């Protein structure tokens, strides 16, 4: 992992920022799960909403024949082109993907749909570009845990989120877009973070408002936990309702 030249805006997570390690590795853990469960050698993969690009590079290094990293933000795509030479970078709106019909095997879109104004249009584009039998993997914060009390279709407090979802909603969105075999999983804290929370209470509320660039000002126990975080501190299970993030897979007909 190398330091990122992209600014940390709060809209995306980036590698190389010590105080951001919890969020970065929480995102990375979903990519790691994809590598072990959905990626097949030789796949042509689209990473839709690729952000900083580290996930697209992971997919390529794990055996994808080609990874197309798509993002609307020009600073992100410029950074990816300079930093991750093994992936193909495309600047585009996710509801107007400039890719041929039935041309890819796997679409990965992690921590993205909560930022989109038209999720059904994006999923229709995924359906179009995937080959028959192709797969889609979507992850998104679980509204029930991420924003307790927020109801369906309410405007989230997070200024970068258009809408937050529960498990049933995401599965329904994929089914309505024509996908089959929608399966909803959940990303949870693994043992090290669970042990910390047992002694100190929920982790995420303790992180809110802290200066990620100045971990020296944090409580020492919290700094030690976050600075030691890795993707191994998260696990994907069949329990979606109490998960921090939803991980949803489906198949193109």
List pLDDT tens digits, range 89-123. 999 999 999 999 999 999 999 999 999 999 999 99
Host domain of residue 81:
18-252
Instruction: Specify the higher pLDDT residue, 88 or 147.
Output: 88
pLDDT at 3: 42
Residue 8 lies in a domain: no
Please state the domain count of the chain.
1
pLDDT at 13: 84
Residue 9 lies in a domain: no
Residue 13 lies in a domain: no
Residue 4 lies in a domain: no
Where does 17-153 show beta strands of DSSP type E?
A: 44-48, 66-71, 88-91, 104-110, 130-141
Residue 7 lies in a domain: no
Query: Which run of H or of E encompasses 76?
Result: helix 74-83
pLDDT at 103: 98
Confidence of residue 2 (pLDDT cuts 50, 70, 90): very low
pLDDT at 126: 98
Instruction: Specify the higher pLDDT residue, 7 or 185.
Output: 185
As a whole number, mean pLDDT of residues 44-60 equals 97
List pLDDT tens digits, range 139-182. 999 999 998 998 998 999 888 999 999 999 999 999 999 999 99
How far apart are the C-alpha atoms of 193 and 118, rounded to whole Å? 35
Residue 5 lies in a domain: no
Task: Indicate which CATH number applies to the domain containing 25.
Answer: 3.40.50.150
Contact 12, 51 (CB under 8 A): yes
Residue 208 lies in a domain: yes
């Amino acid at each position: 992992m190398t330091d990122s030249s992209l600014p940390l805006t709060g809209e995306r997570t980036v590698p190389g920022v010590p105080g951001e390690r919890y969020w970065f590795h929480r995102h990375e853990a979903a990519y790691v799960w994809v590598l072990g469960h959905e990626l097949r050698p030789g796949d042509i993969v689209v990473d839709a909403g690729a952000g900083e690009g580290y996930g697209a590079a992971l997919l390529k290094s794990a055996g994808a024949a080609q990874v197309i990293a798509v993002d609307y933000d020009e600073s992100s795509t410029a950074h990816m082109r300079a930093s991750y030479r093994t992936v193909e970078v495309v600047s585009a709106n996710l509801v107007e993907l400039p890719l041929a019909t039935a041309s890819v095997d796997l679409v990965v879109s992690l921590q993205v749909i909560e930022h989109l104004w038209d999720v059904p249009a994006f999923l229709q584009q995924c359906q179009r570009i995937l080959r028959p039998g192709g797969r889609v993997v979507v992850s998104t914060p679980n509204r029930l845990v991420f924003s307790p009390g927020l109801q369906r279709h309410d405007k989230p407090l997070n200024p970068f989120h258009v809408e937050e979802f529960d498990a049933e909603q995401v599965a329904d969105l994929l089914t309505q877009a024509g996908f089959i075999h929608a399966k909803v999983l959940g990303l949870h804290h693994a043992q090290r973070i669970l042990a910390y929370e047992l002694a100190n209470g929920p982790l995420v509320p303790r992180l809110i408002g802290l200066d990620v660039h100045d971990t020296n000002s944090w409580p020492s126990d919290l700094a030690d936990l976050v600075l030691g975080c890795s993707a191994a501190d998260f696990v994907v299970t069949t329990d979606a309702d109490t998960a921090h993030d939803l991980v949803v897979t489906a198949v193109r007909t």
